[in-house]
Chain A
Amino acid sequence: MASLKTSKDVQSVSGITVRLAGDSGDGMQLLGTQLTNTSALAGNDVATFPDFPAEIRAPRGTRAGVSGFQVQFASEEIFTPGDTLDALVVMNPAAMVTNLDDLRHGGILIANEDGFNAKEFKLAKVDSNPLDANVLEETYRIIKVPMTKLTREAVSEFGLGTKVADRCKNFFAMGLVYWLFGRSLDPTLRFIQAKFNSKPDIAAANEAALRAGWAFGETTEAFGESYQVEAAELKPGIYRNIMGNQALAWGLIAASKVSSKDLFYGTYPITPASDILHELTKYKHFGVKTFQAEDEIAAVCSAIGAAFGGSMAVTASSGPGIALKAEGMGLGMILELPMIIINVQRGGPSTGLPTKTEQSDLLQGMYGRNGEAPLPILAPRSPADCFDIAVEAWRLAVECMVPVMILSDGYIANGSEPWKIPEMSGIPSITVSHPEGTDENEPFLPYARDEYLARPWAIPGTPGLMHRVGGLEKEAESGNVSYDPANHEHMTEMRAAKVSKIAERIPLQDVSGPTSGDVLVLSWGGTYGACHTAVGRCRADGHSVSHAHLRYLNPMPSNIGELVRAFKKVIVAELNSGQLRLLLRAEHLVDCVGVNKVQGKPFTVTELVAAIQQQSNAVRSGSEQSDSGDSRRKAC
């Protein structure tokens, strides 16, 4: 299929940030995903931020029901979905009033005019038509399009009912957006054919709507020109677009393959972790067994049972579910069995903000169990990094015979970015060994330790190695129940040392920028992109600032203490009230400055730049009286 070519002028730009916003039934997530994939296929670097309500169908037309999808595509490497919008597409008044503040001055506002009527104004709780505000014309380029009417006309030949016909309007909007940014229709046409394979009239209608949207852009006088974003210069290789939860699922399967272990995934549905289950359960032919348990406790305990049997066992949840798994995690830790526990963090406490992102479970991961039960903790920094983290987590788990926790978050889980596809042959194998049966007369010591302080992973079915494990304290080596005071202290220390010794084997913390200077920004998890971009911008402006992003949170790399002392000021940026900062202060006695945000939203680059500049300027002017505590930034 030949791509359509515009006959209008084309302006080349380095990057575009678009947000698509409508009612949660308007298909905005689908539109966003398609625009992302199409842009990635065009060779752009892309980063996305889906933002949707917790309710499946919040009341239609209300502000609570607005669903948005933001994507930045660029001809240079990017690390965030963008701060301010170059273009905003709104399908109704509620979407407009809740999103307009993020549109930059001079940006393009495309509105579905047909969605702006008295009934919708009432639902959105606005007194009058927000499109009529005088100030709008001075601030933005406004394009009002009667999308509902034009979509109905475009699909009229297929004889669909009005309700079904109106559902095609997101494809009309898509066509228009594709025209505006010079995107090819082909990937989406392929998607329509595949998705509506069994419903040819719906497929044809959606295609007609998509083409009508494109044609509207080409013919309307409202647009004099379209925009073109050239391909980005990424490292050579084959790429695909990937979402965080998908990358995590694929990474788990890859880890199971390189360790020659079948994967058992025991879980209970919870937002935003459920997509890992949906993804994994498609791959039974990779030896994957998924178990949807009766509750979170059953999920973690089933994984421990599978680990005892010798499988690669994984459980996943989000904060509230992890709270329920606490006792199980403690058992996994004292049994010293390898497994992976994934926490896709969301806004807390309690049920909190199920569909919004936050990094507030770090201390829960560190300390949220009874007794002293340290676990290794890793955090992916981006959607694609989830793949590598999953493999690394399993490597550490079997090397140390310990449950390893992965702290992802909602932003990474649902966000997507180009992923340079690895070759499986290039992924180092993970060696798993199970002891063979011994002579009956030779006692088996299930809690003897190797150089990593790991115990042998003897599995049921092995003659001569019958042994019992349990949650009661165990005698060193024999594993028999022991209430001996000195033994308990010894075992507590062994279990802790086993985790802390990991620091000797993981890479030293790398730094973006000089390894000493005025300001160091320390971050972890999903804030990588925003911090990296903000630090780069400040350095370009002449500030002495470097960035270190932690992927290993427990234990931290062994050079962290030295690193934080090499800067005059350390900023810890995180989406909580200062949890990593607390750990760093406790461990390294270093006075960090917190940049914290607890709004269920990621950092914008702008707010981080402001925070960095403030600290950098304070160092430069020698004024050390600037706050050393919480400087909570408001989103701009």
Chain B
Amino acid sequence: MSTLPVLKPADFASDQDVRWCPGCGDYSILAQMKKVLPDLGYPREKTVFISGIGCSSRFPYYMNTYGMHSIHGRAPTFATGLKTTRPELMVWVITGDGDALSIGGNHFIHALRRNLDINIVLFNNRIYGLTKGQYSPTSVEGQVTKSTPMGSIDHPLSPLSVALAAEATFVARSIDAHVKHLGETLKRAASHKGVSLVEVYQNCNVFNDGAMAYAQERKQRADNVVELEHGKPLVFANGTKGIRLVGTHLEIVDTADVPADDLLIHDEKDPNPSIHMMMARMSYPAMPEPIGVLRAVEGVPTYDDQINEQVIAATAAKGDGDLDALFTSGDTWTVD
């Protein structure tokens, strides 16, 4: 076997000009993806990016891999057909908050609950960017946008909660500006066997600038974000504050006032998603918001493996299908 060429981030760049607005958070995600992929050691020709419609969904055009820019909200369905028939490919779905949670909500849920071995990266900027500034399913209540001059009356949807309700086996969140964390999170998603969802807080500096500044800006981040680590207590504000489980809810405590054992210890491998769901519900400003891997349950059969295993099992039991034999099975008659 010949040695594989060592790829660099630039090898994953297509020859197309990137056309996102200057200052868009998408650039950071693209850069991290190109940085992470060489580390995974997967050949470019076996890597496929599939997207829906929206600013984020232009992503595949900028990657020197196979790619498909598909239909609004439907990217997981194309990925399903591709991954079930070509399980050896590494398939990424690139989507946004409108694409995945509004028009594509149905497909998002079903790809997750089937545990299809794909990686879904959801760019969440809490706004419709490509259609120039309408509110999205993740926009906060009361948000004034082009389509909500008196403020949005929709209650926002959390992609993490939806994913956990569907019992997705890998659920994580990261932040465009937190580049190291983003790269690590993408890498972990890619190495998970089964479906993975990474929500990325992504700043739309044109239509929703600063909507998640509390998490994106380095100075504010420490106080408003809990970086999850498996087996470690949930702490933030430079270790001065922590999260404690009381009954069926989570509360903030000063770490100086409580024994370390009282803090919630993160168990990303717990098959029961209840605590993960509580963490997903932590939201600014009442609570700090978790980033990192909320849930990573390994060993769950994947949809693509199972659909192929059924073919193998049927063939083992019945032999390779013989059409001539099938046609003449059952009642036939001969005309001379």
Q: Which residues of A are interface residues toward B (Cβ below 8 A)? A: 37, 40-41, 43, 187, 231, 233-241, 250, 253-254, 257, 262, 264, 266, 283-289, 291, 293-295, 297-299, 301-311, 313, 327-328, 331, 335, 421-424, 437, 460-472, 480-481
Say whether, besides A466-B64, A470-B61, A291 and B323 are in contact (CB < 8 Å): no
| Residue pair A240, B45 in contact (C-beta under 8 Å) | no
The reply on B219 being an interface residue by CB < 8 A is: no
Interface string of B271-305 (1 = CB under 8 A from A): 00000000000000000000000000000000000
- Residue of B14, B107, B320, B331 near A240 (CB, 8 A) is B331
Say whether, besides A301-B78, A310-B86, A461-B45, A285 and B332 are in contact (CB < 8 Å): no
In the complex, how many angstroms separate the beta carbon of A300 from the nearest chain B beta carbon? Answer: 8
Residue of A nearest to B44 (CB): A466
- Residue of A43, A424, A469 near B324 (CB, 8 A) is A424
In the complex, how many angstroms separate the beta carbon of A629 from the nearest chain B beta carbon? Answer: 40
- Residue of B53, B80, B308, B320 near A305 (CB, 8 A) is B80
Say whether, besides A284-B314, A469-B67, A460 and B48 are in contact (CB < 8 Å): yes
State in angstroms the CA–CA spacing of A178 and B70 once bound together: 57
By a CB distance below 8 angstroms, the chain B residues around A233 are 335
The reply on B147 being an interface residue by CB < 8 A is: no
Say whether, besides A305-B82, A466-B44, A239 and B334 are in contact (CB < 8 Å): yes
State in angstroms the CA–CA spacing of A544 and B320 once bound together: 53
B306-336 residues at the A interface, CB under 8 angstroms: 307-308, 310-311, 313-315, 317-321, 323-324, 326-328, 330-336
State in angstroms the CA–CA spacing of A282 and B248 once bound together: 47
In the complex, how many angstroms separate the beta carbon of B90 from the nearest chain A beta carbon? Answer: 10
| Residue pair A285, B320 in contact (C-beta under 8 Å) | yes
Say whether, besides A287-B311, A463-B43, A471 and B323 are in contact (CB < 8 Å): no
Q: Can you give 5 contacting A-B residue pairs, CB < 8 Å?
A: A187-B331, A286-B320, A293-B80, A305-B77, A422-B327
In the complex, how many angstroms separate the beta carbon of A269 from the nearest chain B beta carbon? Answer: 15
| Residue pair B80, A462 in contact (C-beta under 8 Å) | no
Residue of A nearest to B12 (CB): A466
By a CB distance below 8 angstroms, the chain B residues around A234 are 335
In the complex, how many angstroms separate the beta carbon of B114 from the nearest chain A beta carbon? Answer: 9
By a CB distance below 8 angstroms, the chain A residues around B109 are 294
State in angstroms the CA–CA spacing of A302 and B106 once bound together: 14
State in angstroms the CA–CA spacing of A466 and B48 once bound together: 9
The reply on B84 being an interface residue by CB < 8 A is: yes
| Residue pair A302, B331 in contact (C-beta under 8 Å) | no
B43-97 residues at the A interface, CB under 8 angstroms: 43-46, 48, 50, 53, 60-61, 63-71, 74, 77-86, 88-89
The reply on B16 being an interface residue by CB < 8 A is: yes
| Residue pair A236, B335 in contact (C-beta under 8 Å) | yes
In the complex, how many angstroms separate the beta carbon of B88 from the nearest chain A beta carbon? Answer: 7
Report the 8 A-B pairs with minimum CB-CB distance, sorted nearest first: A305-B81, A470-B69, A286-B321, A302-B81, A305-B78, A284-B314, A301-B77, A306-B81
Known: A264-B81, A467-B66. 12 other contacts (CB 8 A): A40-B333, A238-B335, A254-B323, A285-B314, A294-B109, A298-B110, A304-B81, A305-B78, A421-B327, A467-B67, A470-B68, A471-B70
By a CB distance below 8 angstroms, the chain B residues around A262 are 85
Say whether, besides A239-B333, A240-B330, A284-B314, A264 and B86 are in contact (CB < 8 Å): no
By a CB distance below 8 angstroms, the chain A residues around B84 are 264, 289, 291, 302, 306
State in angstroms the CA–CA spacing of A422 and B323 once bound together: 10
| Residue pair A257, B323 in contact (C-beta under 8 Å) | yes
By a CB distance below 8 angstroms, the chain A residues around B317 are 285
| Residue pair B311, A461 in contact (C-beta under 8 Å) | no
In the complex, how many angstroms separate the beta carbon of A235 from the nearest chain B beta carbon? Answer: 7
- Residue of A264, A293, A305, A481 near B61 (CB, 8 A) is A481
Say whether, besides A250-B327, A262-B85, A284-B310, A43 and B315 are in contact (CB < 8 Å): no
By a CB distance below 8 angstroms, the chain B residues around A286 are 320-321, 323
| Residue pair A250, B333 in contact (C-beta under 8 Å) | no
State in angstroms the CA–CA spacing of A306 and B79 once bound together: 8
Residue of B nearest to A421 (CB): B327
By a CB distance below 8 angstroms, the chain B residues around A303 are 81
Residue of B nearest to A288 (CB): B311
Q: Which of B44, B70, B324 has the most CB of A within 10 A?
A: B70
State in angstroms the CA–CA spacing of A266 and B88 once bound together: 20
Say whether, besides A301-B71, A467-B66, A468-B14, A237 and B335 are in contact (CB < 8 Å): yes
State in angstroms the CA–CA spacing of A251 and B278 once bound together: 52
By a CB distance below 8 angstroms, the chain A residues around B70 are 301, 304, 331, 470-471
Say whether, besides A250-B326, A254-B323, A470-B60, A460 and B89 are in contact (CB < 8 Å): yes
| Residue pair A465, B45 in contact (C-beta under 8 Å) | yes
By a CB distance below 8 angstroms, the chain B residues around A285 are 311, 314-315, 317-321
State in angstroms the CA–CA spacing of A424 and B327 once bound together: 10
| Residue pair A294, B81 in contact (C-beta under 8 Å) | no
In the complex, how many angstroms separate the beta carbon of B179 from the nearest chain A beta carbon? Answer: 25
By a CB distance below 8 angstroms, the chain A residues around B330 are 240
State in angstroms the CA–CA spacing of A423 and B40 once bound together: 49
State in angstroms the CA–CA spacing of A289 and B305 once bound together: 12
| Residue pair B82, A43 in contact (C-beta under 8 Å) | no
| Residue pair A331, B71 in contact (C-beta under 8 Å) | yes
By a CB distance below 8 angstroms, the chain A residues around B320 are 285-286
Q: Which of A187, A288, A469 has the most CB of B within 10 A?
A: A469
| Residue pair A309, B85 in contact (C-beta under 8 Å) | yes
By a CB distance below 8 angstroms, the chain A residues around B67 are 467-470
By a CB distance below 8 angstroms, the chain A residues around B43 are 463
In the complex, how many angstroms separate the beta carbon of B305 from the nearest chain A beta carbon? Answer: 12
By a CB distance below 8 angstroms, the chain B residues around A297 are 71, 74, 77, 107
Residue of A nearest to B83 (CB): A305
Say whether, besides A295-B106, A298-B110, A466-B65, A306 and B85 are in contact (CB < 8 Å): yes
| Residue pair B69, A298 in contact (C-beta under 8 Å) | no
State in angstroms the CA–CA spacing of A468 and B45 once bound together: 12
Residue of A nearest to B88 (CB): A461
| Residue pair B335, A460 in contact (C-beta under 8 Å) | no
Say whether, besides A41-B333, A238-B328, A421-B328, A289 and B307 are in contact (CB < 8 Å): yes
| Residue pair B86, A461 in contact (C-beta under 8 Å) | yes
By a CB distance below 8 angstroms, the chain A residues around B336 are 236
Residue of B nearest to A281 (CB): B310
